[in-house]
């Protein structure tokens, strides 16, 4: 638990904060989108690390509710595909979809969609990770 609460959990919070800050920055200046994409990659890494670490903690025995903790853990992983969701509006992606109502986005719109998603996911990721840490007895 020590390494989780002193290393993995803070890393998740830092990346979540970076997603929110860079999301806001991208809404203001679209050029920041490239930096936001690095933060998205970092989010995949830290959430993957958190999933492995928490799974190991649960397997090694803990007082935390297995169902609730696993639920939050699955939620943190399920949030990841929403990062970079602007790619669904890329003209090439839309061409492959017969749905006429599918949105097609310009590059600056893709950046803004990714920014909005990063803000929402960053907040949700931080809350879910905080709940996991509390359940594992590492926070208040």
Partner 1 sequence: MNPVARIVLIVVYSILGLAATGRATVQIIESFSEAPLAYTLSAISAALYVLIAVALWRGWETVALVGSSLELFGVLVVGTLGVVDSTLWPDETVWTGYGSGYGWVPVLLPLAALYFLVKGRQRRAAANR
Q: Are 43 and 123 in contact (CB under 8 A)?
A: no
Nearest CB to partner 1, comparing residues 61 and 100: 100
Rounded to an integer, what distance in angstroms lies between the CA atom of residue 22 and that of residue 119?
8
Tokens 């959990």 identify what position? 9
Instruction: Choose which of 10, 17, 71, 138 interacts with partner 1 (CB under 8 A).
Output: 71
103 binds partner 1 (CB under 8 A): yes
Nearest CB to partner 1, comparing residues 14 and 124: 124
89 binds partner 1 (CB under 8 A): yes
Binding mask 39-68 for partner 1 (x = CB under 8 A): ----------------------------xx
Stretch that binds partner 1, among 2-10, 39-47, 121-129, 132-140 (CB under 8 A): 121-129
Q: 7-39: string of b/e by CB count within 10 Å (b at 16+)?
A: ebbebbbebbebbbbbbebbbeebebbeebbeb
Rounded to an integer, what distance in angstroms lies between the CA atom of residue 121 and that of residue 81?
10
| Size of site (CB under 8 A) for partner 1 | 28
Rounded to an integer, what distance in angstroms lies between the CA atom of residue 14 and that of residue 64?
24
The residue ranges that bind partner 1 (CB under 8 A) are 67-68, 71-72, 75, 78-79, 82, 85-86, 88-89, 99-105, 109, 112-113, 116-117, 120-121, 123-124
């Amino acid at each position: 638990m020590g390494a989780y609460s002193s290393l993995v959990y803070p890393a998740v919070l830092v990346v979540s904060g970076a997603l929110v800050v860079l999301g806001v920055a991208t809404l203001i200046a679209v050029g920041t989108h490239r930096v936001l994409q690095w933060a998205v990659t970092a989010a995949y890494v830290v959430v993957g690390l958190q999933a492995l670490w928490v799974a190991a903690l649960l397997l090694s025995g803990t007082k935390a509710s297995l169902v609730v903790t696993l639920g939050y853990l699955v939620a943190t992983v399920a949030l990841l595909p929403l990062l970079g969701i602007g790619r669904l509006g890329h003209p090439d992606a839309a061409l492959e979809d017969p749905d006429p109502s599918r949105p097609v986005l310009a590059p600056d719109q893709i950046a803004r969609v990714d920014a909005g998603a990063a803000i929402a996911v960053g907040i949700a990721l931080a809350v879910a990770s905080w709940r996991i840490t509390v359940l594992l007895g590492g926070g208040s």
